[in-house]
Amino acid sequence: MLELRDVRCSIGKHEVIHGVSLRVEEGELICLLGANGAGKSTLFRTISGVVRPRSGEIIFRGEPIHRLGPDRIVRLGISLCPEGRKLFPRLSVKKNLMMGAYTRYRNRVEVKMSFQEVFELFPILEERLDQDAGTMSGGEQQMLAIARALMARPKLLMLDEPSLGLAPLVVKRIMETIQEINRRGVTILLSEQNAAMALSISHRGYVMENGKIVLEGSSQELMDNEEVKRAYLGA
């Protein structure tokens, strides 16, 4: 479904992604592990068209997308839930969700279906439709951020650090919901510092350090890897 071929990109004059190649097959839940500053968020922004790669190719469902703008990439079926949620705090829950559906807001039937789908996953949002997003708890805001990304009805959902700053019980609930989204047919690329949790729900994984992919394998293989244990699993 998604393939990156030797992708390099820079922020200013500094190259921060150094020849990354990876693939995500349809239906998979793939985790991308790495410490702060490893380049995970930059890589996600590059896939979504916010950052333009210096070289390399990004192929989505057989079509090159590395020269397309973010709006076109969303229309093709890639949606990003960014690190830090990036909600509109003074807008209501409903308006934040509608922002996620901006590429298809004229199709009222599809938008209504999307509302129903996100309410099944996050019932609390239906109860809080008129509440300003900025007045919600951290966990509720993360649910809203994921739901907003789903309003675009993506084929590939990218989640950038969804557990950041959340209590353990909330993290467990978020991860269970991510699994459910995947079971419903959405392919997922998950960037996560909580390596144990990410590996426990994913099919395969990549480890990123200093802008490079340094390890890849099945989730079980990575959990059994001594380097991963020392660096990310606290063993």
| pLDDT cut 90: percent of the chain above it | 83
Q: What is the pLDDT of residue 37?
A: 87
| pLDDT cut 70: percent of the chain above it | 99
CB atoms within 10 A of CB 112: 10
pLDDT higher than threshold 90 for residue 5: yes
In the chain, the domains with their CATH numbers are: 1-77+154-165+174-235 (3.40.50.300), 85-153 (no CATH)
pLDDT higher than threshold 60 for residue 117: yes
**Token pair belonging to 232:** 């990310």
User: 4 has which bridge partners?
Assistant: 22, 58
Under 8 Å between Cβ of 179 and 201: yes
The Cα angle at residue 166 between residues 160 and 170, in degrees rounded to 5: 100
pLDDT higher than threshold 90 for residue 96: yes
Q: What is the pLDDT of residue 120?
A: 95
pLDDT higher than threshold 90 for residue 75: yes
Using alpha carbons, select from 32, 14, 13, 12 the residue that is nearest to residue 22.
32
pLDDT higher than threshold 60 for residue 195: yes
Q: 103 exposed, middle or buried (CB, 10 Å; 0-12, 13-18, 19+)?
A: middle
Range with lowest mean pLDDT among 2-6, 33-37, 231-235: 231-235
pLDDT, averaged across the chain: 93
Over residues 32-44, mean pLDDT: 92
pLDDT higher than threshold 70 for residue 173: yes
pLDDT higher than threshold 60 for residue 235: no
pLDDT in tens, 122-165: 999 999 999 999 999 999 999 999 999 999 999 999 999 999 88
Q: 98 Cβ partners below 8 Å, 6+ apart? A: 105, 111, 151
pLDDT higher than threshold 80 for residue 112: yes
User: 92 has which bridge partners?
Assistant: 132
- Could you tell me the pTM of the whole model? 0.93
Q: Which of 37-41, 83-87, 203-207 has the highest mean pLDDT?
A: 203-207
Q: Crossing angle of helices 93-100/138-150, nearest 10°? A: 30
pLDDT higher than threshold 90 for residue 12: no
